[in-house]
């Protein structure tokens, strides 16, 4: 694998990652980050492997010290209309296009890239091995978690603040009891069954 962090010293390379592909509710969030090689941030890694407290500490540092960053979304309606993969690609494209600095290349966590007019490369496991992707994973995860905490107040009873929309037993039981809210992804299997049985 190329030495991506060293490459960052010479050209503005953006890292991109998403949060929220697996949940049954809420938007998918993508972040794009261009780190400043003169201001390294210790402790960046895959957001899923960091504690919530660690992510909350790193997130403002990334926003403050990065050369550029952006967070973008694809909403529930777009997920249902396009499918989750295409909605994720859309959110990633929006994040890259919102950067105030145009990168020379984009490194994307996973095995596929959105359509961009910039050179892009997919890096499997990049959120844990490439700092600029790890930084994007932290911004995306923190932003989406905050959204789901706010959604818990808007749509009480489902436990969104706790499980962030993922299909936990608590969430599935609430769905069976309350039915879906307007922020649920009706195209996802547990929802499509509940939705069809309610009509």
pLDDT digits (tens, 9 = 90+) for 84-113: 999 999 999 999 999 999 999 999 999 999
Question: What are the residue boundaries of the structural domains of the chain, listed by start?
Answer: 4-144
Angle between helices 131-154 and 52-65 (to 10 degrees): 120
Q: What is the mean pLDDT of residues 181-193?
A: 87
Q: Are 18 and 29 in contact (CB under 8 A)?
A: yes
Q: Which run of H or of E encompasses 93?
A: helix 84-97
pTM of the model: 0.90
The predicted-structure confidence for 156-176, as pLDDT tens digits, reads as follows 999 999 999 999 999 999 999
Q: Could you tell me the two tokens for 15?
A: 């890292």
pLDDT at residue 155 is higher than 80: yes
Q: Is 3 annotated as a binding residue?
A: no
184 φ/ψ angles, rounded to the nearest 5 degrees: -80, 150
Q: Is 18 annotated as a binding residue?
A: yes
pLDDT at 46: 77
Q: What is the mean pLDDT of residues 36-47?
A: 89
Q: Is 46 annotated as a binding residue?
A: no
Q: Give Rg (Cα) of the chain.
A: 17
CATH entry, 4-144, from 1.10.569.10, 3.30.420.10, 3.10.129.10, 1.10.3470.10: 3.30.420.10
Q: What is the mean pLDDT of residues 7-31?
A: 88
CB-based contacts of 189, cutoff 8 Å, min separation 6: none
Cβ atoms within 10 Å of 192's Cβ, excluding its own: 14
Query: From residue 89, how far is each of 1, 30, 47, 110, 113 by CA, in Å?
Result: 24, 9, 19, 11, 7
pLDDT at 193: 60
Of 45-49, 69-73, 160-164, the least confident: 45-49
Q: Which run of H or of E encompasses 120?
A: strand 119-123
Please state the length of the chain: 199
Q: Which residue has 């990168």 as its token pair?
A: 103
């Amino acid at each position: 694998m190329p030495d991506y962090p060293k490459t960052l010293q010479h050209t503005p390379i953006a890292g991109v990652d998403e949060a929220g592909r697996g949940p049954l509710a809420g938007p998918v969030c993508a972040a794009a980050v261009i780190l400043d090689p003169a201001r390294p941030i210790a402790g960046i890694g895959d957001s899923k492997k960091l504690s919530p407290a660690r992510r909350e500490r790193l997130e403002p540092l990334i926003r403050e010290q990065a050369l550029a960053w952006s967070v973008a979304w694809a909403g529930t309606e777009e997920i249902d209309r396009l499918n989750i993969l295409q909605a994720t690609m859309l959110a990633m494209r929006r994040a890259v296009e919102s950067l105030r600095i145009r990168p020379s290349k984009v490194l994307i966590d996973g095995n596929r890239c959105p359509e961009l007019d910039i050179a892009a490369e997919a890096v499997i496991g990049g959120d844990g091995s490439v700092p600029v992707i790890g930084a994007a994973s932290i911004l995306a995860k923190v932003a989406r978690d905050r959204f789901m905490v706010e959604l818990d107040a808007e749509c009480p009873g489902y436990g969104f603040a706790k499980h962030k929309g993922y299909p936990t037993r608590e969430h599935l039981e609430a769905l069976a009891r309350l039915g879906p809210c307007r922020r649920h992804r009706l195209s996802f299997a547990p929802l499509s069954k509940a939705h069809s049985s309610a009509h």
